[in-house]
């Protein structure tokens, strides 16, 4: 019985129902401290009229640390929303995405007549001695076939990783993807901020920071995000609040623990939950307090943004909160937000809310995602986070460039949907360099609810948040059995783009920005823009090799 294998780059997506056309890639280069990935694809030839399953034990041999995971195909009912030419598929079906751990002594099962892939991760130590390091991957069956007949088989492949004589610098980019703590409590059926919940949150923070997500959504109160009008998400509030008439008292114990958790894993910035509701700042966020010994909701959709009671609440909270930030030594590491994704037709509401919040927090910075330049033109948003398909009017007109993408950025620009080629996800790192971005935002590190948070979803069955968004928009990690975050290949590929960004920053420090940009554009004949770039994986891989050679030289 024949077994075929092919070593391919991390930028290929191996579909189980499609003949593999990806070219073989047997070598690459990396810096000290870099995490390098490639794939080994395998195919079991059918025998006569039978498609047997085969089980192989996977072994690795290398002087470098190597991790092997199974690339699992996940269902997609909504691969895309808007017609675009740079998609792998447009029909609903199975798409390679989840990177699952191998179990049962590293055994890997391959159904007959299907291409399957292993994701190989090589973690290069800092200051690793320069040189070429073979990485051998061997597949060995159990010695007997499906009929019990002795039929031992072993096949292997060797990838040569050249470690170059430099380390990647620490990132300067702020990566901010919303960690939805309520989704974790809902999925794992644990009480909010119980010890079980804290342990799960910690594991997800650990995964996030390992992928350079260094800015953490901090739920002072339940974030007013993706919530239907009149509906409530589970209470995720870190603050303890007691209301006695018109007076409030505050407890910060949970907030302190959350901040310390983030600092322990290398979080650089803490972003407070938005002060007003999404899409227009019309109402106040859900906030609960103990009133006469009983927990009650004191603010929410039924309390307008211009409520005197809310203004008074902020008056009493903010001096104490700011003092706590100083005590925790994060006063220079916090951001506030007014309202997510405001539109021009509600700019008056946003204007009021923005001025109110700034009057309470003084010179502390604010940040909001938006698409219209009018908000920045009027001085309402200090640090606009601009959708990547509306970025051009902001270029050269803002002091610190931030960008984001979500469900609406599906034509030409980079994004992370299942149906998009991996190169379209990774190239965002290059774009962040070319646009000299300070930060990147994405709304859903782990959103496991439907649109408007009306009900829970199972991310292993529903990857499009209740047929709302293209698969891949609502989360980039899966909830593992033991409370850990399981990676998607999109999470790893986007992280590769962030490593490209660090390599470009290092090259700029050596030869200057102008020369670095010239190297990027070699042979292109046009200026790279957010919506105009080469689509091929080969071009992106070759670009990184040119960057590496320039740094090594």
Q: Show the tokens assigned to 421.
A: 């080629």
> What CA–CA distance (Å, rounded) separates 188 from 191?
9
Task: Provide the pLDDT for residue 45.
Answer: 87
Has residue 264 been placed in a domain? yes
Q: Is the pLDDT of residue 68 over 80?
A: yes
Task: Provide the pLDDT for residue 553.
Answer: 87
Same domain, 257 and 351: yes
Residue-wise pLDDT tens digits, 290-331: 999 999 999 999 999 999 999 999 999 999 999 999 999 999
With beta carbons less than 8 A apart as the criterion, state whether 143 and 154 touch: no
The range of the structural domain enclosing residue 439 comes to 174-233+250-283+306-508
Has residue 296 been placed in a domain? no
- Which segments of 252-365 are extended strands (E)? 269-272, 287-291, 294-299, 334-335
- Give the mean pLDDT of 110-123: 95
Has residue 500 been placed in a domain? yes
Sheet holding 107-110, edge to edge: 27-32, 154-167, 131-141, 54-61, 107-110
Same domain, 145 and 278: no
Q: Identify the domain boundary among 114, 144, 166.
A: 166
Show Cβ contacts of residue 201 under 8 Å, excluding neighbours closer than 6 positions: 179, 181, 184, 261
Task: Provide the pLDDT for residue 144.
Answer: 57
Same domain, 137 and 204: no
Residue-wise pLDDT tens digits, 136-179: 999 998 655 556 665 677 899 999 999 999 999 999 999 999 99
Beta partners for 162? 29, 132
Residue-wise pLDDT tens digits, 229-287: 999 999 999 999 999 999 999 999 999 999 999 999 999 999 999 999 999 899 999 99
- Give the mean pLDDT of 349-375: 95
How many Å is the Cα radius of gyration of the chain? 25
Beta partners for 334? 270
Q: Using alpha carbons only, give the angle 504, 506, 510 rounded to the nearest 5 degrees.
A: 110
With beta carbons less than 8 A apart as the criterion, state whether 77 and 464 touch: yes
Residue-wise pLDDT tens digits, 437-456: 999 999 999 999 999 999 99
Q: Identify the domain boundary among 112, 144, 166.
A: 166
Please report, for residues 170, 177, 215, 445, the alpha-carbon distance to residue 174 in angstroms, rounded to integers and kept in the order given.
11, 10, 6, 15
Residue 336 is classified by DSSP as B
Beta partners for 446? 475
Helix ranges (DSSP H) in 242-282: 253-264
Same domain, 209 and 151: no
Residue-wise pLDDT tens digits, 15-57: 999 999 999 999 999 999 999 999 999 999 887 777 778 899 9
Split at pLDDT 50, 70, 90, the class of 376 is confident
Q: Identify the domain boundary among 484, 508, 532.
A: 508
Of the listed ranges 125-129, 147-151, 176-180, 406-410, the least confidently predicted one is 147-151
The structural domain count of the chain equals 2
Has residue 549 been placed in a domain? no
Same domain, 495 and 387: yes
Same domain, 442 and 488: yes
Has residue 426 been placed in a domain? yes
Residue-wise pLDDT tens digits, 2-14: 889 999 999 999 9
What's the mean per-residue pLDDT of the chain? 96
């Amino acid at each position: 019985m024949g077994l075929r294998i092919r070593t391919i780059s991390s930028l290929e997506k191996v579909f189980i129902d499609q003949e593999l056309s990806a070219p073989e890639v047997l070598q690459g280069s990396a810096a000290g401290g870099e995490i390098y990935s490639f794939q080994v694809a395998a195919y079991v030839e059918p025998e006569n009229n039978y498609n047997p399953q085969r089980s192989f034990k996977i072994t690795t041999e290398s002087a470098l640390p190597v991790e092997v995971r199974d690339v699992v195909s996940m269902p997609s009912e909504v691969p895309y929303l808007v017609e675009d030419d740079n998609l792998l598929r447009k029909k609903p079906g199975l798409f390679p995405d989840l990177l699952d751990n191998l179990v049962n002594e590293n055994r890997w099962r391959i159904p007959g007549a299907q291409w399957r892939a292993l994701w190989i991760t090589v973690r290069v130590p800092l200051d690793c001695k320069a040189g070429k390091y073979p990485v051998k991957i061997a597949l060995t069956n159990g010695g007997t076939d499906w009929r019990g007949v002795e039929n031992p088989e072993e096949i292997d492949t060797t990838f040569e990783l050249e470690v170059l004589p430099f380390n990647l610098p620490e990132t300067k980019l702020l990566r901010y993807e919303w960690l939805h703590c309520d989704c974790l409590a809902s999925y794992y059926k644990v009480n909010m901020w119980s010890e079980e919940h804290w342990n799960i949150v910690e594991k997800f923070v650990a995964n996030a920071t390992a992928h350079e997500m260094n800015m953490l959504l901090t739920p002072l109160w339940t974030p007013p995000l993706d919530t239907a009008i009149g509906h409530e998400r589970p209470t995720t509030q870190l603050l303890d609040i007691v209301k006695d008439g018109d007076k409030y008292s505050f407890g910060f114990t949970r907030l302190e623990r959350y901040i310390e958790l983030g600092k322990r894993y290398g979080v650089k910035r803490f972003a407070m939950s938005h002060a007003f509701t999404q899409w227009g700042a019309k109402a106040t966020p859900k906030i609960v307090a103990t009133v006469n010994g009983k927990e009650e909701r004191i603010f929410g959709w039924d309390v307008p943004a211009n409520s005197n009671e809310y203004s008074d609440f902020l008056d009493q909270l903010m001096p104490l909160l700011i003092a706590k930030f100083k005590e925790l030594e994060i006063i220079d590491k916090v951001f506030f937000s007014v309202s997510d994704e405001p539109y021009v037709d509600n700019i008056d509401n946003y204007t009021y809310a923005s001025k109110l919040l700034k009057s309470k927090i003084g010179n502390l910075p604010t940040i909001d995602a938006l698409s219209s330049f009018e908000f920045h033109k009027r001085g309402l948003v200090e640090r606009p986070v601009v959708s990547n398909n509306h970025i051009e009017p902001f270029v050269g007109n803002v002091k610190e460039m931030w960008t984001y993408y979500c469900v609406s950025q599906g034509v030409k620009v980079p994004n992370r949907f299942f149906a998009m080629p991996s190169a379209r996800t990774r190239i965002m790192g290059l774009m962040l360099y070319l646009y000299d971005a300070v930060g990147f935002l994405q709304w859903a590190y782990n959103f496991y609810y439907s649109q408007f948070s009306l009900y829970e979803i199972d991310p292993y069955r529903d990857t499009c948040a209740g047929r709302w968004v293209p698969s891949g928009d609502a989360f980039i990690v899966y909830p593992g059995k033991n409370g850990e975050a399981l990676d998607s290949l999109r999470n790893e590929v986007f992280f590769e783009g962030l490593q490209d960004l660090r390599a470009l920053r290092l090259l700029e420090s050596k030869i200057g920005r102008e020369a670095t940009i010239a190297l990027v554009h070699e042979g292109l004949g046009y200026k790279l823009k957010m919506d105009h770039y080469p689509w091929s994986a080969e071009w992106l891989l070759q670009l990184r090799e040119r960057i590496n050679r320039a740094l090594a030289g």
